[in-house]
Amino acid sequence: MAKIVAMEVRDVRFPTSRDLDGSDAMNPDPDYSAAYVELHTDAGPDGYGLAFTIGRGNDVQAAAIRALAPHVVGRDVPEDAEALGALSRALVGDSQFRWLGPEKGVAHMAIGAIVNAAWDLAARRAGLPLWKFASRMTPEELVSLVDFRYLSDALTEQEALDILRAAEPGKAERIAKLEAEGYRAYSTSAGWLGYSDAKLVRLAEQAVADGFEMIKLKVGGNLEDDVRRMKLARETVGAEIRIAVDANQRWDVATAVSWMTALAPFDPYWIEEPTSPDDVLGHAAIAKALAPIKVATGEHVQNRVVFKQLLQANAIDVLQLDAARVGGVNENLAILLLAAKFGVPVCPHAGGVGLCELVRHLSMFDFVAVSGSDSDRSIEWVDHLHDHFTDPAVVRDGRYLAPTAPGFSARMHDATLRRFSFPDGPEWTENAQ
């Protein structure tokens, strides 16, 4: 049996704040970063995973991953659901480490990075892209991966099995459809808050020309600016293209309602992160007040327990899972099952570092094996930093192509790891301020 013989963790940072890529009302100057983990084995391929951060504190995130090495190093290379479930349970169940969360923040993102690296490893060994590797598992195997603790008042093991069994017919057809047509994307590239009106218009026109059916604007800095930008965007793309807006947690409940009421004449499709990601009841109040404008959140939702409540409280119309915020594929499977149970579409958060690469696997797996549907679903697309990955996400005519390379696509090029290593890589030493 091949073994994991070492775990290497790197602090990798991209100086995105220099161009205001990724700027929004809450995060004006992000340096998109990754705490990057490599699982080295004594035979066969290695495994790759990451936690995404936006700069300062990426060293803390890396330290948290390193602290979990004793659970990983010396372990047999995971090849199946049983091993991937056991690893996840060992990490989440560490009786001392869990105090740091539990199941949230730095500690939980560290678990997610390792769990995702283990899935990458398993999929590489199987010679399959992750979405196909997971889709090949039986309903019983998939259910064995999920931690149902704290979920049973909303989703039982039996209900999860029923959902997965209902998705069994038609799997092959859906795989063929993905391979032929890909999966719908939407574009955030036009809408960063730091961009000028002219750049917004140019990029919005480009997005429509590129085949996207929805674009997204950042809002929440200044109401007059937002009304002007939203009007401009609507005039640019016309009535048929959806425009989502994203407040990145800027508002209290009453402000969210009044601000969005001012934007309502321009037909926003969803309001994303209107308030604190921890505020289930706040999102519920906002959703009730703003319907039919949809409410979306998820990139900062810490775990399945909060997603469960958002669904129980009818607080979200769109669930935006994140590949690197929660405890990895295992917990995202729980989240996909919860969304399917409540009939809420999943439109993953992406962008950042590697998130587009990762979430396409999760949405395609959802379509094949969980919800069985792609209607009203799309994956965020932000067109930067993809060149740094060995298996980059590719979007054509507004659709993500189905990845074909074995694994979970988090691997970066060696040259990238050297150049953007923080603080010692040449990108940082040569451009020191």
Residues that are catalytic: 218, 349
Q: Where are the beta strands (DSSP E) in 151-212?
A: 183-191
Q: How far is the CB of 9 from a copy of itself (least distance, A)?
A: 12
Rule CB under 8 A: choose which of 73, 161, 227, 305 binds a copy of itself. 305
Pair 393, 400: CB distance under 8 Å: yes
Which residues lie across from 380 on neighbouring strands? 186
DSSP class of 129? B
Residues numbered 136-195 forming contacts with a copy of itself, rule: CB under 8 A: 149-153
Rule CB under 8 A: choose which of 11, 14, 30, 340 binds a copy of itself. 30
Indicate whether 317 belongs to the interface with a copy of itself (CB under 8 A): no
Cα 91 to chain centroid distance, Å, stands at 20
Cis peptide before 392 (omega within 30 of 0): no
Q: How far is it, in rounded angstroms, from Cα 255 to Cα 222?
A: 12
Rounded (5°) CA angle 415-420-421: 100
Indicate whether 16 belongs to the interface with a copy of itself (CB under 8 A): no
Closest CA to 325 of 345, 351, 344, 294: 351
Reading the block at residue 310, the tokens are 């958002």
Rule CB under 8 A: choose which of 8, 59, 157, 213 binds a copy of itself. 59
Q: How far is the CB of 172 from a copy of itself (least distance, A)?
A: 37
Indicate whether 228 belongs to the interface with a copy of itself (CB under 8 A): no
Q: How far is the CB of 379 from a copy of itself (least distance, A)?
A: 21
When the beta carbons of 67 and 394 are compared against a copy of itself, the nearer one is 67
3-class SS of residue 215: strand
Q: How far is the CB of 17 from a copy of itself (least distance, A)?
A: 9
- Other beta carbons less than 10 A from residue 400's beta carbon: 24
**CA separation (Å) from 397 to 185, 213, 384?**
9, 10, 17
Rule CB under 8 A: choose which of 6, 20, 63, 86 binds a copy of itself. 63
Rule CB under 8 A: choose which of 54, 163, 175, 382 binds a copy of itself. 54
Closest CA to 108 of 68, 159, 55: 68
Indicate whether 11 belongs to the interface with a copy of itself (CB under 8 A): no
Give me the phi and psi of 227, to 5 degrees please: -60, -45
Cα 344 to chain centroid distance, Å, stands at 16
Residues numbered 105-124 forming contacts with a copy of itself, rule: CB under 8 A: 105-109
DSSP class of 186? E
Instruction: Write down the number of H helices and E strands in the chain.
Output: 16, 12
Q: How far is the CB of 229 from a copy of itself (least distance, A)?
A: 21
When the beta carbons of 55 and 392 are compared against a copy of itself, the nearer one is 55
Indicate whether 313 belongs to the interface with a copy of itself (CB under 8 A): yes
Q: How far is the CB of 426 from a copy of itself (least distance, A)?
A: 22
Residues 349-388 vs a copy of itself: string with x where CB under 8 A? ----------------------------------------
Footprint on this chain of a copy of itself (rule: CB under 8 A): 26-31, 53-57, 59-61, 63-64, 67, 94-109, 149-153, 249, 252-254, 275-282, 285, 300, 302-303, 305-306, 308-309, 312-313
